[in-house]
Structure 1
Amino acid sequence: MPYEAIRVDIDASAHVTTITLNRPDKLNSFTRAMHQELSAALDDVEKADVRALVLTGAGRGFCAGQDLADLDFTPGAMTDPGDLVEQYFNPLIRRLQALPLPVIAAVNGTAAGAGANLALACDLVLAARSSSFIQAFVKIGLLPDSGGTAFLPQRVGMARALGLAITGDKLSAEQALNWGLIWQVVDDAELPSTAAQLAARLAQQPTRAIAAIKAAMRASVTQSLDQQLDLERDLQRELGASFDYAEGVQAFIEKRAPRFEGR
Structure 2
Amino acid sequence: MSGQLVLIADDGAVRTLTLNRPQALNSFTTAMHAELRAALDAAADDAGVRCVVVTGAGRGFCAGQDLNDAGMSSGEVDVGDVIERLYRPLALRIRSMPVPVVAAVNGVAAGAGANFALGCDLVVAARSASFIQAFSKIGLIPDCGGTWLLPNLVGRARALGLAMTGDKLGAEQAQAMGLIWQCVDDAAFADTVKALAHRLAAMPTKALADTRRAIDTSAAMSYADALRLEADLQRELGHAHDYREGVAAFLAKRAPSFRDR
Q: Please give the TM-score of this superposition, normalised by the length of structure 2.
A: 0.97
- 1:182-221 correspondence runs (5 A): 182-221=180-219
1:188 to partner: Cα distance: 1.1
What CA deviation, in whole Å up to 9, does each residue of 1:8-67 have, x standing for no partner?
Answer: 0012xx311000000000000000000000111112101212100000000010000000
- 1:120-159 correspondence runs (5 A): 120-159=118-157
The residue number in structure 2 matching 1:108 is 106
What CA deviation, in whole Å up to 9, does each residue of 1:150-176 have, x standing for no partner?
Answer: 111111111111011011000110110
What CA deviation, in whole Å up to 9, does each residue of 1:216-239 have, x standing for no partner?
Answer: 000111011111111100000000
The residue number in structure 2 matching 1:174 is 172
CA distance in 1, matches of 2:6, 2:73: 29
The residue number in structure 2 matching 1:240 is 238
Q: Which runs of 5+ in 1 are unaligned?
A: none
Tell me, what secondary structure is at the counterpart of 2:71? coil
- 1:43-54 correspondence runs (5 A): 43-48=41-46, 49-54=48-53
CA RMSD, 1 decimal: 1.3
The residue number in structure 2 matching 1:70 is 69
CA distance in 2, matches of 1:115, 1:83: 18
Bigger drift between 224-233 and 252-261 goes to 252-261
Whether 1:4 aligns to 2:8 is no
Tell me, what secondary structure is at the counterpart of 2:128? coil
CA distance in 2, matches of 1:172, 1:152: 16
The residue number in structure 1 matching 2:33 is 35
* 1:113 maps to amino acid: G
Asked whether the 8 Å contact 2:44–2:99 carries over to 1, the reply is no
Identity of aligned residues (%): 58
Tell me, what secondary structure is at the counterpart of 2:68? helix
The residue number in structure 1 matching 2:250 is 252
Asked whether the 8 Å contact 1:205–1:262 carries over to 2, the reply is no
Asked whether the 8 Å contact 1:17–1:54 carries over to 2, the reply is yes
Asked whether the 8 Å contact 2:126–2:183 carries over to 1, the reply is yes
Shift in alpha-carbon separation, 1:256–1:34, aligned structure 2, 3 A: same
CA distance in 1, matches of 2:234, 2:158: 35
CA distance in 2, matches of 1:72, 1:63: 20
Asked whether the 8 Å contact 1:127–1:184 carries over to 2, the reply is yes
Runs of 4+ deviating beyond 3 Å: none
Asked whether the 8 Å contact 2:67–2:73 carries over to 1, the reply is no
